[in-house]
Amino acid sequence: MAIDEALLSCFDPGKSRAILRLYGWDPPAFSYGRFQKPEEIIDLGKCRADGVQTVRRITGGGVLYHAEEITYSLVCPASFIPGARSVKEAFFHLTSFLLAFYRSLGLKACHAAEHHPGSRRLGERTSLCFAGIESCDILIEGRKIGGNAQRRLKEVIFQHGSIPLRQMAGKGNRYLLHPDEDIPGKTTSLADEGIYTSTEALAVTLKESFERCFGVAFELCGLTGEERRCAAGYMQEIA
């Protein structure tokens, strides 16, 4: 999470190129939104006893249990999204590469707004990421897959989200003060949909989907010195 924050802080909308970062979580952990108080949602004592970490995100939204998943983060100038003035418009635009990714795997993915055209109230605030559905969330056969959150600075858009490889909502439930037993039935994962492709191959497919959607070509690179120093500084603040 410190690296994500550093990527955003160090991004120069006039000079920097769009960044796509792919990563995972080991050991499992909870991330909570920047406006949440984790002690009101998570049993922190049980988490400490089982070695489950908790970490603050730089984005809003509900608490999310991260285990067997691919997590992405992307940073781009606002000009990367022509005509998208609102956060919602930017969400629809930037999550289009996720739709392309899931569809390339043979899955019938769509935005929630398309699945529920005016028949259901969307966008209600919930303390758990998977408990609510936003209009730009991605559904497969009516079940939510992954979660996405966004943060904006002047002329810069940051977004990150999860692509669950396996259904882990049940495991995460045991650490919640008020578990939602219906979450496993309302959500899905790649394994639930019969996709058992290796993480490495899925990461390549995800990158290629992004390139096709937005007409870009990525170059593999590591963190810059400035980004490393910035991330280390955020880690010290937490410690």
How many other C-beta atoms are found inside a 10 Å radius of the C-beta of residue 140?
A: 22
β-strands 53-56, 64-66: how paired?
unpaired
| CA–CA dist 223, 208 (Å, integer) | 21
| CA–CA dist 28, 85 (Å, integer) | 36
The two structure tokens encoding residue 46: 């049980």
Contact 1, 31 (CB under 8 A): yes
The two structure tokens encoding residue 145: 């897959």
Q: Catalytic site residues? A: 129
What values do phi and psi take at 59, rounded to 5?
-105, 170
